[in-house]
Amino acid sequence: MLQVPFIRENKDLIIERLAKRNIDATDDISKVIVLDEERRALQAQLDNTLAESNALSKEIGMLFKSGEVEKANKTKEKTGQLKETSKQLTEDLNAKTNALSELLYKIPNVPNEIVPTGNTDEDNEEVFREGDIPVLEDGALPHWELAKKYDIIDFELGNKITGAGFPVYKGKGARLQRALISYFLDKNTEAGYKEYQLPHLVNEASGLGTGQLPDKEGQMYHVTGDNLYLIPTAEVPGTNIFRDVVLNEAELPVTITGYTPCFRREAGSYGAHVRGLNRLHQFDKVEIIRVEHPSKSYEALDGMVAHVKTILQELKLPYRILRLCGGDLGFTSALTYDFELFSTAQDRWLEISSVSNFETFQANRLKLRFKNSDGKNQLAHTLNGSSLALPRVLAGILENYQTKDGIVIPEVLQPYTGFKIID
């Protein structure tokens, strides 16, 4: 959530930057400033009324002590009127504050200056590419056919048990899935991230804190009986560890990694581009999260991008990195880099990771602060990234490593799987 002082001081810049998202925020930003002025005016009236009431209360006590009962009772009538006034002002102030908060919740984060202008994913900028695209033999299969051929993932069984988008991993498929999770966690902890096991359901305050609510409630599975939400990513419980927390500057950066299943109600379309593991309602992901000093968060973002690159280099998968344009940027992000690997059998790029800097947007919602060198509380910056999302990584391995003899396991994973080939 944007800070009101920031909006007041940077109105034109914010409107200009939000235009990169194809949003004309002129009316909303102007309304924020008006609501804030009205809120502050009401607060000033309330403060003055309360101050006057307190002063008269003291005066009444002195009048009674001095025996001026009649004057004291008249003054008492005035304090009664002031109490009614303060009650009404409090109601008006709460209504104005709520209206301001509701409007602020609807305004997305301001894109960084280097975010390209654009409408769709076709306008994203490719900033890096690495890895040779393998040449497959004739008859190479997409991963959903390979999964059936080697009996390692059963999509029909998952559909029977739950519904579309909930696959069942079997045998070597399940072991490969577990191997990837362990490998990703080991890489992250070796890089200094502290491992956490996190809840898979969160309360409404957690969803609001990281920006999944109220913007994305339609994409989250809601457990209505307890008003809890199944997590769409470990970012939500992981970042909410620091909700309402004041850190010492010396504690920064804070780094976290964790594995969780993720649940998303994303409306699915039909066709090969969403078949198999390409789009799921339940999937596994290993996340990295950072809480950073504002002066170091973009250096940290570059470090996170470099970290994910090392994992893909070890897996020897062809990949590219995209800087997302304004129209494709997530609601809470100031700058996002997407990683995509090339699926040779599908002849298309598949997104496997997003690495983002949210600056103070989440921290303001979370009231996540640190005590700076001047002893003042200051909002921290939050960052997160997939390291990595498993379904499309697994799909890429199955498709890019297929041979006539079976699916070869990447060398770096073999100590985790305990086997070298799926045949």
Which residue positions form the known binding site for L-serine? Answer: 233, 264, 287, 384
Annotated binding site for ATP: 264-266, 351-354
With contact defined as beta carbons under 8 Å apart, do 140 and 344 qualify?
A: yes
Element at 407 (helix H, strand E)? strand 406-408
With contact defined as beta carbons under 8 Å apart, do 126 and 321 qualify?
A: yes
With contact defined as beta carbons under 8 Å apart, do 356 and 335 qualify?
A: yes
Question: Distance (Å, rounded) from C-alpha 67 to C-alpha 127?
Answer: 84
Residues in Cβ contact with 56 at an 8 Å cutoff, skipping those fewer than 6 apart? 75, 78, 79, 82
Could you tell me the end-to-end alpha-carbon distance of the chain, in angstroms, rounded to an integer? 51
Burial 318-350 (b: 16+ CB within 10 A, else e): bbbbbbbbbbbbbebbbbbbbbbbbbbbbeebb
Count of other CB atoms within 10 angstroms of residue 140: 18
With contact defined as beta carbons under 8 Å apart, do 172 and 419 qualify?
A: yes
Helix 26-65 vs helix 11-18: crossing angle, to nearest 10: 140
With contact defined as beta carbons under 8 Å apart, do 407 and 397 qualify?
A: yes
Annotated binding site: 233, 264-266, 287, 351-354, 384
Among 388, 178, 395, CA closest to 275: 395
414 token code pair: 């073999």
Among 364, 400, 361, CA closest to 111: 361
Helix 26-65 vs helix 69-106: crossing angle, to nearest 10: 160
Query: CA angle, corner 387, sides to 381 and 390, nearest 5?
Result: 140
Question: Distance (Å, rounded) from C-alpha 257 to C-alpha 189?
Answer: 7
